[in-house]
Amino acid sequence: MDKQGETGLARALLAGETDAFERFVDHFRSKIFHYSWLMCGRPEDAEEVAQETLLKVFESFDQLRDPERVRAWVFRIAKNACLMQRRKSVFAPAHEHSLDELPPTSEVPDDDAPPDAELLQAELRAVLDRIIAELPQLYRAVVLLRDIEELSTEETAQILDVGTDVVKTRLHRGRIAMRQKLDCYVHNQCLEDQPSPNPTPLSPQERATLYSVWRGRVPANAL
């Protein structure tokens, strides 16, 4: 689903359309799970983040002022939920790399093409996930939002609470690191192609909870 479809979905939700609820949950839950798995590191954590994010989304859905920015709005909530999950997870890394720990690179325009975009094809998506997961967290967050979720530089900066120049620098360095790993995979098969996890289906109780929270926030005149 493209951004236009997501915008229509958000507007339908604000109008109280039940079918839109089902489509919204199915669409965004998988996206949030994938983002959270790569940021949090464990499928179990990603499951919790996806559920917590959707709960917070529906608790405040009536506050969405711009349906055209629903993707950025959802991922800002997901980012905060993921940070909280990482802090309480026993698998959280003891140390994160900073920008100063990697060699400096010359700056490039922000519209520089993502590395080998054709590798997003299904058969190599698992490899790309492995490569992204091995990036330092600072770069990983930007690459996921800009190259995978296709958010703008400005939206990414707002979600991560950094300046646009910082986003451009981290994206550039992250793409360089990805190209190096992709080159290693293509020429030396130095990464194993392991399937990426998928979220488990929502239980009837989990889905009912989300539905109840959303219904409680829909304006009465929309029902």
CB environment 49-84: b (16+ within 10 A), e (fewer): bbbbbbbbbbeebeebeebebbbbbbbbbbbebbee
Give exposure, 124-141, as e/b (b: 16+ Cβ within 10 Å): bebbbbbbbeebbebbbb
Between residues 212 and 222, the one the model is more confident about: 212
pLDDT given at position 121: 57
Share of the chain above pLDDT 90, in %: 52
**Are 178 and 135 a contacting pair, CB within 8 Å?**
yes
pLDDT at 103: 45
Question: Residue 146 above 90 pLDDT?
Answer: yes
| 22-80 pLDDT per residue, tens | 999 999 999 999 999 998 878 888 999 999 999 999 999 988 889 999 999 999 999 99
Per-residue confidence (pLDDT) for residue 7, from 0 to 100: 95
Does residue 179 contact residue 116 with C-beta atoms inside 8 Å?
yes
pLDDT confidence of residue 110: 53
What span, in angstroms and rounded, lies between the C-alpha atoms of 167 and 116? 20
Res 106: pLDDT? 46
Residue with the bigger pLDDT between 115 and 8: it is 8
d(CA 118, CA 186): 13
Q: What is the pLDDT of residues 98-145, one digit of tens each?
A: 444 444 444 445 556 555 555 555 557 778 888 898 899 899 999 999
Mean pLDDT of the chain: 82
**pLDDT over 70 for what percent of the chain?**
78
- pLDDT, residue 158, reads 95
pLDDT of residue 65: 87
Higher pLDDT, 1 or 103: 1
pLDDT of residue 164: 95
Decide: pTM greater than 0.75. yes
Which tokens hold the place of 50? 């996806």
Q: How does residue 91 score in pLDDT terms, banded at 50, 70 and 90?
A: very low
pLDDT at 105: 46
